[in-house]
A and B are shown apart, each in its own frame.
Chain A
């Protein structure tokens, strides 16, 4: 144990001496947490709409005004023909063309049945879907208004209809940041835990100091602990920093017990540190370690439920996410921060994470060799 003290002393000295890494470690969470939640946003606003009104009637004008009042659309252009409309889409000045055909009002009044046409630029799938969805609901609304007006209060109270009213639980204002910030925090913790550790050890391999260590009678458990403990502590510091930013910049106060987050992060950090250690036993150079890190990070982020919901992934992909530690922590973070979940609720992921930690660290210790 005395050896461990010297190892820790040396490790902390080096960390505090490398100002570039130190700065990165503390600037990264600050900058990412401030920038990403503002930029990465699911809400679609300012859908650019080109309206091709070939009717120019009272109804068509009322309809256009209704769209304008909705705030979701930017009424950029009023092409004179469908071809002109397509040109707007090609030049990226429009996302959707809405065509109100000639005789729209006449058909509506005479036959009670009129059509409209919507052409959607589907290059950006989310935007296209949501934009078309908004437009559809405006059309339905408009439809309803007309019907109510024409039916003129019949005795039965008009056509029977079911109105759906919803209320959003846990995040009542559908605040996107509340959803993103805890997730981004997990990614940051993973970077510090897994990849700084891996790079740190591989660097010692590259400059040859690890050989000088391997020729000493040091026990490999001590060497490994000497590497894990400093990064475990730094991970917790980054987490604290992140939670403070969430509190003071975004006003996110965890609904549940903050101690649960630290409990989970303690085990989580052990797991990702084990992963970093494992990467370092396979990589010979820092470039190799970086490449492995990028590869894993992409999978972790895209299959971790940060941007895309795991529940809507295909079955095989959901099975893969079971092996992604990031997915568990993002889930637990959101549960505790947004839902106020208790220890009982996070017990299962906590045990799974402990399993990850034991598995990855044992594997890393077994494959770490003082001799080749």
Chain B
């Protein structure tokens, strides 16, 4: 543990280059324990790349970062024990049932069989999926799939959970329920690092950072951002900052 021990995540001049292209350009920030930290930006602004570096899926080109007190260059496997990750692309096994997916992920995080069993029951109850537990994941509607993905990412009770556009393509009611689950996780002490481009969701975060062209253009609580940019809502904040973006959205 180092001087940042009160922080879950620290980043200092973190940079990722792919050839000539600088996807993430010198970003610095800290995320406190139990905080819900929103990572906003247009498509292609570098949010996913930044998140992948923090999760140990991608090596940074330069800069420093720690996650849960562990270094992203040398201690990625330690980091992985303490984080949960939900990628943009649905990535549970579609040809396994709900229960089998939970058992598998619980198992590879090294949980014991009784622990897996009780956790599975708990989640099935919370998601009201007890009757559906033997259904193949392929057959579930998208909203259920997303909530299930989140629950699986939280299955081994990680200190920090990374969510990459978790509510993409989901209806407003499910989005609301999804955010209730996020609040519950934060309430229980999990740090939540979430990317989104729904500006109403940004309002739910404790703090947000807005990325434009690989850089952090602004970072603060939603209330202070609105105040300093004289905007009525987060959408106004975002539009003002993103207007000068050079990078074409994909």
- Contacts A3-B107, A3-B108, A211-B57 given; does A217 touch B93 at CB 8 Å: no
CB contacts (< 8 Å) of A218 on chain B: these are 108
Q: Which A residue sits closest to B79, measured CB to CB?
A: A217
Main secondary structure of the interface of A (DSSP, over half): helix
- Minimal beta-carbon separation of A7 from chain B (angstroms): 7
- Minimal beta-carbon separation of B107 from chain A (angstroms): 3
Q: A17–B97 Cα gap in the complex (Å)?
A: 11
Q: Which A residue sits closest to B55, measured CB to CB?
A: A215
Stretch at the interface among A8-16, A73-81, A309-317: A8-16
Q: A372–B110 Cα gap in the complex (Å)?
A: 24
CB contacts (< 8 Å) of A370 on chain B: these are 56-57, 76
Shortest 9 CB-CB distances between A and B: which pairs? A6-B107, A208-B91, A208-B89, A215-B85, A217-B80, A212-B91, A217-B81, A10-B104, A209-B91
CB contacts (< 8 Å) of A214 on chain B: these are 57
Task: Pick the residue among A6, A208, A371 that contacts B58 (CB under 8 A).
Answer: A371
Tell whether, in the assembled complex, residue B92 and residue A209 are in contact, meaning their CB atoms are under 8 Å apart: yes
CB contacts (< 8 Å) of B96 on chain A: these are 10, 13-14, 17
Which of the listed residues A10, A207, A208 has the most CB atoms from chain B within 10 Å of its own CB? A10
List residues 42-71 of chain B with CB under 8 A from any CB of chain A: 55-59
Task: Tell me, yes or no, whether A152 is within 8 Å of chain B by CB.
Answer: no
The interface of chain B, by Cβ under 8 A from chain A, is 55-59, 76-78, 80-81, 83, 85, 87, 89-96, 100, 103-105, 107-110
Task: Pick the residue among B80, B87, B91, B100 that contacts A10 (CB under 8 A).
Answer: B100
Task: Pick the residue among A2, A7, A372 that contacts B57 (CB under 8 A).
Answer: A372
Q: Which B residue sits closest to A215, measured CB to CB?
A: B85
Task: Pick the residue among B92, B104, B110 that contacts A2 (CB under 8 A).
Answer: B110
- Minimal beta-carbon separation of B71 from chain A (angstroms): 13
CB contacts (< 8 Å) of A215 on chain B: these are 55-57, 80, 83, 85
Tell whether, in the assembled complex, residue B76 and residue A5 are in contact, meaning their CB atoms are under 8 Å apart: no
- Minimal beta-carbon separation of B159 from chain A (angstroms): 13
- Contacts A211-B87, A215-B55 given; does A17 touch B92 at CB 8 Å: no
CB contacts (< 8 Å) of A217 on chain B: these are 77-78, 80-81, 109-110
Interface band, chain A: 20 to 34
- Minimal beta-carbon separation of A212 from chain B (angstroms): 4
Q: Which A residue sits closest to B149, measured CB to CB?
A: A212
Tell whether, in the assembled complex, residue A207 and residue B94 are in contact, meaning their CB atoms are under 8 Å apart: yes
The number of A-B residue pairs with CB atoms under 8 Å apart is 75
CB contacts (< 8 Å) of A17 on chain B: these are 95-96
Q: A6–B87 Cα gap in the complex (Å)?
A: 22
Q: A7–B100 Cα gap in the complex (Å)?
A: 11
CB contacts (< 8 Å) of B105 on chain A: these are 212, 216
- Contacts A13-B100, A14-B95, A207-B91 given; does A213 touch B108 at CB 8 Å: yes
- Minimal beta-carbon separation of A230 from chain B (angstroms): 14
How would residues 208 to 252 of chain A score, 1 for a CB under 8 Å from any chain B CB and 0 otherwise?
Answer: 110111111110000000000000000000000000000000000
Q: A352–B50 Cα gap in the complex (Å)?
A: 46
CB contacts (< 8 Å) of B104 on chain A: these are 6, 9-10
- 21 residue pairs A–B, Cβ–Cβ below 8 Å: A3-B107, A6-B103, A9-B103, A9-B104, A207-B89, A209-B91, A209-B93, A211-B87, A211-B91, A212-B85, A212-B87, A212-B92, A212-B105, A213-B108, A215-B56, A216-B108, A217-B77, A370-B56, A371-B56, A371-B58, A371-B59
Tell whether, in the assembled complex, residue B110 and residue A208 are in contact, meaning their CB atoms are under 8 Å apart: no
Task: Pick the residue among A6, A18, A371 that contacts B95 (CB under 8 A).
Answer: A18
Q: Which B residue sits closest to A214, measured CB to CB?
A: B57
Given A208-B87, A370-B56, 8 further pairs, Cβ under 8 A: A2-B107, A9-B104, A13-B96, A212-B105, A216-B80, A216-B105, A216-B108, A371-B56
Tell whether, in the assembled complex, residue A10 and residue B81 are in contact, meaning their CB atoms are under 8 Å apart: no
List residues 247-265 of chain A with CB under 8 A from any CB of chain B: none
Q: A211–B80 Cα gap in the complex (Å)?
A: 12
Q: A188–B93 Cα gap in the complex (Å)?
A: 28
Tell whether, in the assembled complex, residue A371 and residue B76 are in contact, meaning their CB atoms are under 8 Å apart: yes
Q: A371–B100 Cα gap in the complex (Å)?
A: 26
Task: Pick the residue among B57, B59, B78, B108 that contacts A6 (CB under 8 A).
Answer: B108
- Contacts A216-B108, A217-B77 given; does A14 touch B58 at CB 8 Å: no
Task: Pick the residue among A5, A13, A212 that contacts B107 (CB under 8 A).
Answer: A5
Q: A213–B90 Cα gap in the complex (Å)?
A: 13
- Minimal beta-carbon separation of A235 from chain B (angstroms): 22
Q: A371–B60 Cα gap in the complex (Å)?
A: 10
Tell whether, in the assembled complex, residue B110 and residue A3 are in contact, meaning their CB atoms are under 8 Å apart: yes
